[in-house]
Chains A and B, each alone.
Chain A
Amino acid sequence: MTAAMAAGLRRRLAGLNIWTVVLAVALIVVFILLINPLYNILVASFIDRKDGSFTLGNYGRILGLGFYRSALTNSLIIGFGGMIGALVLGVPLAFLTSRFHIRGRTIVSTLAVLALVSPPFIGAYSWIMMLGANGWLRHLLASVGIGLPSVFGIFGILLVFTLKFYPFVFLLTASALSSVNRSLEDAGENLGCGPYRRFFKITLPLVFPAVSSGALLAFVLSIADFGTPQIIGGEFRVLSTEAYNLFTSEIGGNPGLASTVSIILISISLVFIILQRQAVNRRNFAGSLINRPEVKFLRGGKSVAAHAICYGIVIASSIPSIVVVVMSFRKTQGPVFHPGFSLSSYARIIREVPDVITNSFLFSVSAVILIVTLGTLVGYILARRQSFLSGTLDSILMVPYIVPGVVLGIGFIVAFNTGRLAMTGTGLIIVLVIFIRRLPYAVRSSSSILKQISNSVEEAAISLGASPARAFIKVTLPLMLPGIVAGAMMAFVTAINELSSSIILYVGGTMTMPVRIYLSVLDGEFGTAAALSTILLTSTGIAVYFVFRYSSAKENAFV
């Protein structure tokens, strides 16, 4: 080998190394923060509480005891209930807004996005204020003769989930509906299909992949959500709340059983994801879009009805946020609301829990920096440097989508309570759990941006004498930047609203706003809860504005 060849080989290895190092770091991070905690949970679920031996008894107890079995049944009930509710609102809203001229369509989709990003526990607590025993809406409805069941229990949970998760179905379906080739529908009509038959026989099957993805998201998030059933569920126990209660109960938590519940929760999500994948795989209708569907004008009564349905849905889903904001400005005396308005709730939170607010922002911003840095680099590897290892990483990064926050929180406690990596009780553990839960979203958004940027742009830079690193910084990165900003903002939204894992991991000094809100609601401190929620909603709203500003996908960036 000549000296020149050896030097060349060294350069090639050096070129490989930047991305090899990133890949190695990513694999190690994912192993420590994801595989390790989940493995610990899996092991714990098979260990007998008394003598530490291997046992299937935990699963036997969960599936055998009427108490836990009903929690399992209840989880499935709210999963399907939330999914059906989301479909019932989401599909018609998508159809009306994408096929008919609806005035202020942007307002409709913006309100839907705001409903989507506002934390569900705020919805739960807001509906309690409206429909609880003394709620103003309950009194109002009662006065016109409408009696409602108690908001505590399954009615409240499904109400919150339906209004919270329909935007997934709506946004995915609307985007699919507006890219169905119009010629297919015209052909159906030409062959004798009436409008209804045509919708069910042609249009709906064509958008099935999108509708089912939305439905799946609603299902998985419904069974994973912790805050809503805990706040509004009353005696209605589900697996996610049981996992939490088993783990944290004061008379010596039971990590074995909590782990078992966690594994069952993950398994349910996994089964449904696999079922949906299979259903969609057989219906993959990729096609070139030649004719965009026509957007029709409606007249008279039909137009009024269509507008009423669209605005009815999005307003109903924004009411909880509006109520919370209004309540935050109500005059309070201790936990009791008084007539009139004031800033007393804000004064109280600034006086009593300033650290909670700073914690929230500190943890979220730190998590976002980690998420964006690693997410962008890993997204680049997945899009441009495919290999066996990057494929493996891609598959592992699917895992956080199906692991409920409560479960990962428990896993973190089990994994990082002792040993060299002990960090329970620190702010770092809260940052890291948010980081690993949201990393896949950033990776996916970064790699999908890259797939829209032709590889030859980067090659052009290299052929003009820019080193690979310079080509990435000068050409690829600037082109990715709007997408990265949008991705960072979305990561921030999910980070600052995180409740289900932080509720397990927080200690007195690392409390965040969502945790404080949850505790305030339990204590009946509605005023401080409302003020903190308003801060959350405002930060969320600002971040959403930037996503709309910088992401070309606009509202579709959220699903």
Chain B
Amino acid sequence: MASVELKSIRKTYPPDVTALDDVDLTIETGEFFTLLGPSGCGKTTLLRTIAGFNIQDSGAVIVGGRQIDHVPAYRRDTGMVFQDYAIFPHMSVADNVAFGLRNRKVPKDEINERVEKALAMARLEGFGHRLPSQLSGGQQQRVGLARAMVIRPQVLLMDEPLSNLDAKLRIELREDIRGIQRELGITTVYVTHDQEEALVISDRICVMEGGVVHHVGAPWEIYRQPKTRFVAGFVGAMNFLPGRLTSAGLALGEQRLAWSKSNGYDGDVAIAIRPEDVTVQIGAADVPGFGLAGRVVRISFTGRDVQYTVECADGTSIDAHIANPSPELMDQTGNEIRLSLPVDRVILFDKSSGQRV
């Protein structure tokens, strides 16, 4: 078990694709660290750089204090779990799990013992003699997990391990992965494009886009205090409204409210608010914050909440998610409705740079 330091990692693909643009990260020992972002953001490239399957153009990879930039992949001691499982189809489950131990010349008795233990941890007792073709997708990925952790790697790398599984299995396996990781305390780098998965499983999340790190932080911080407009929009649902922040306060259309933290800022901003923070009323009501009026264009009932899409007179569209609406609010499609945006729930981003204000 070891910490992972990435220092100014750069990787470009000819002719002009920048996959990683000066990435600096520190992953603590024993941490469950997730790289989150849309496809093409560089998260898999970064993971494969740690594994040694990609060689960065510049920058350093340091694992457990040792710089391993030019250590070939097979000497890096990183267990990897693959999106498509990559189980060796010609070997039994037990041979798959023993493969890494045999490469390390571990004594036979110890191999058997460790394989047994790993299979038990991955809930695969009694599957040792089976061939991979006799296993379901979820079971195959459990073999992948057992195979990667049995070697007690310095870092466990997981490349979208759940994305080929159906929803129910995904939740089941994700809890097992988290449980095993906690129990063994293995430093884990996990790649996913599924923001809910990232929020549930991680100690810390790194949100990436276009080869650039946008925000590294704990899940609640990523969700509640996103550092950039991209993070705000990518993780969870978010409304964005055009506004202006001056020393006089925060303006949305004709309305202006006091804003204590302006610090001399003067310019156009994007006002961001989560749909679940927007409230909805029939008729006028006095709620602190911005008040807007609009027509309900759609109401979707998800079971957990009711989701309103409201179109204001100036054409902006706002989503509001109401957890427990009163019955008269259920039947408002096409009607005028009032929205209020509590100012303490609002966060601001610079209009041009997208950085948090």
Min Cβ gap A458→B in Å is 8
Q: Is A460 an interface residue (CB 8 A)?
A: yes
The answer for the CA separation of A470 and B105 in the assembled complex, in Å, is 14
The B46-78 residues at the A interface (CB cut-off 8 A) are 51-53, 55, 67, 69-78
Q: Is the interface of A mostly helix, strand, loop or mixed?
A: helix
The answer for the CA separation of A470 and B90 in the assembled complex, in Å, is 15
**Size bracket, chain B contacts:** 20 to 34
Q: Give the one of B72, B74, B77, B87 with max A CB within 10 A.
A: B74
Q: State whether B99 touches A464 (Cβ < 8 A).
A: yes
The answer for the CA separation of A463 and B51 in the assembled complex, in Å, is 7
Q: Is A11 an interface residue (CB 8 A)?
A: yes
The answer for the CA separation of A88 and B96 in the assembled complex, in Å, is 51
Q: State whether B78 touches A463 (Cβ < 8 A).
A: yes
Interface string of B82-119 (1 = CB under 8 A from A): 11101111100000000110011000000000000000
Q: Which of A459, A465, A467 contacts B53 (CB 8 A)?
A: A459
Min Cβ gap A22→B in Å is 19
Q: State whether A466 touches B103 (Cβ < 8 A).
A: yes
Q: Count of A residues near B, CB < 8 Å? A: 27
Min Cβ gap A300→B in Å is 43
The answer for the CA separation of A475 and B51 in the assembled complex, in Å, is 19
In the complex, besides A11-B72, A459-B86, A465-B104, 19 extra interface pairs with C-beta distance below 8 angstroms are A8-B69, A8-B71, A8-B72, A454-B84, A456-B83, A457-B87, A459-B53, A459-B73, A459-B82, A460-B88, A461-B88, A462-B53, A463-B79, A463-B80, A464-B103, A466-B103, A467-B72, A468-B74, A479-B88
Min Cβ gap A478→B in Å is 5
Q: State whether B100 touches A464 (Cβ < 8 A).
A: yes
Q: State whether A465 touches B82 (Cβ < 8 A).
A: no
Min Cβ gap A452→B in Å is 11
The answer for the CA separation of A5 and B82 in the assembled complex, in Å, is 29
Q: State whether A459 touches B100 (Cβ < 8 A).
A: no
Residue numbers in B under 8 Å from A21 (CB-CB): none
Q: Which of A454, A470, A474 contacts B86 (CB 8 A)?
A: A454
Contacts A8-B69, A11-B72, A459-B53 hold; do A464 and B84 have CB atoms under 8 A apart?
Answer: no
The answer for the CA separation of A459 and B84 in the assembled complex, in Å, is 12
Q: State whether B82 touches A456 (Cβ < 8 A).
A: yes
Residue numbers in B under 8 Å from A470 (CB-CB): 74, 103
24 interchain pairs, CB-CB under 8 A = A4-B67, A4-B70, A5-B69, A8-B70, A11-B70, A456-B86, A459-B73, A459-B82, A459-B86, A460-B82, A462-B53, A462-B73, A463-B51, A463-B73, A464-B74, A464-B100, A464-B103, A465-B100, A465-B151, A470-B74, A474-B99, A475-B88, A475-B90, A479-B88
B residues neighboring A (CB under 8 Å): 51-53, 55, 67, 69-80, 82-84, 86-90, 99-100, 103-104, 144, 147-148, 151, 157
Min Cβ gap B12→A in Å is 18
Min Cβ gap A216→B in Å is 35
User: Which residue of chain B has its CB nearest to the CB of A1?
Assistant: B70
Residue numbers in A under 8 Å from B52 (CB-CB): 462
Q: Give the one of A12, A456, A457, A465 with max B CB within 10 A.
A: A465
The A439-462 residues at the B interface (CB cut-off 8 A) are 454, 456-457, 459-462
Residue numbers in A under 8 Å from B53 (CB-CB): 459, 462
Q: Give the one of B80, B83, B157 with max A CB within 10 A.
A: B80
Residue numbers in B under 8 Å from A312 (CB-CB): none
Residue numbers in A under 8 Å from B103 (CB-CB): 464-466, 470
Q: Which of A11, A15, A478 contacts B90 (CB 8 A)?
A: A478
Q: State whether B74 touches A465 (Cβ < 8 A).
A: yes
Residue numbers in B under 8 Å from A466 (CB-CB): 74, 99, 103
The answer for the CA separation of A459 and B71 in the assembled complex, in Å, is 15
Residue numbers in A under 8 Å from B74 (CB-CB): 462-468, 470-471
The answer for the CA separation of A479 and B90 in the assembled complex, in Å, is 7
Residue numbers in A under 8 Å from B86 (CB-CB): 454, 456-457, 459-460
Min Cβ gap A468→B in Å is 7
Q: State whether B88 touches A7 (Cβ < 8 A).
A: no
The A408-467 residues at the B interface (CB cut-off 8 A) are 454, 456-457, 459-467
Residue numbers in B under 8 Å from A457 (CB-CB): 86-89
Q: Is A295 an interface residue (CB 8 A)?
A: no
Q: Is A29 an interface residue (CB 8 A)?
A: no
